[in-house]
């Protein structure tokens, strides 16, 4: 079951893997929230959508690769954010609920 709130998303982070029925973007964000950047990135780079570009941008910003993040924010038609990683993660999750 797809969560309807960010808090419901957070409540799944004690699980071993994200629920199978979740969308790929939500699964990518789940892996990031669990601290698994590589798994999150593997999913995000396969997403050929504006949302995929936004998640990809966020991950590269988090990684510290500002140039690459800027490229992906441009592809997502999003400005480079000034918020914390936690705030952007929440925004991304809520955009996928």
pLDDT for the residue 1: 85
**Tokens at residue 54, please?**
């936004």
| 85: nearest Cα among 33, 42, 43, 34 | 33
What's this model's pTM, rounded to 2 decimal places? 0.96
| Residue 5 to residue 74: CA distance in whole angstroms | 28
Q: For 43-56, what is the mean pLDDT?
A: 97
- The full DSSP string for 2-33 is --SSHHHHHHGGGSSS--TTS-HHHHHHHHHH
- Give me the residue spans of the domains in the chain: 6-95
| Residue 44 to residue 58: CA distance in whole angstroms | 10
- Are 30 and 53 spatial neighbours (Cβ–Cβ below 8 Å)? no
Q: What digits encode the pLDDT tens for the residues 13-48?
A: 999 999 999 999 999 999 999 999 999 999 999 999
């Amino acid at each position: 079951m797809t969560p309807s709130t960010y808090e419901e998303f957070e409540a799944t982070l004690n699980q071993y893997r994200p629920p199978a029925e979740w969308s790929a973007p939500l699964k990518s964000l789940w892996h990031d929230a669990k601290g698994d950047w590589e798994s999150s990135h593997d999913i995000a780079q396969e997403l050929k959508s504006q949302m995929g570009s936004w998640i990809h941008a966020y991950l590269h910003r988090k990684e510290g690769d500002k140039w690459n993040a800027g490229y992906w924010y441009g592809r997502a038609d999003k400005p480079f954010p000034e918020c914390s990683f936690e705030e952007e993660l929440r925004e991304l999750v809520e955009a996928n609920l």
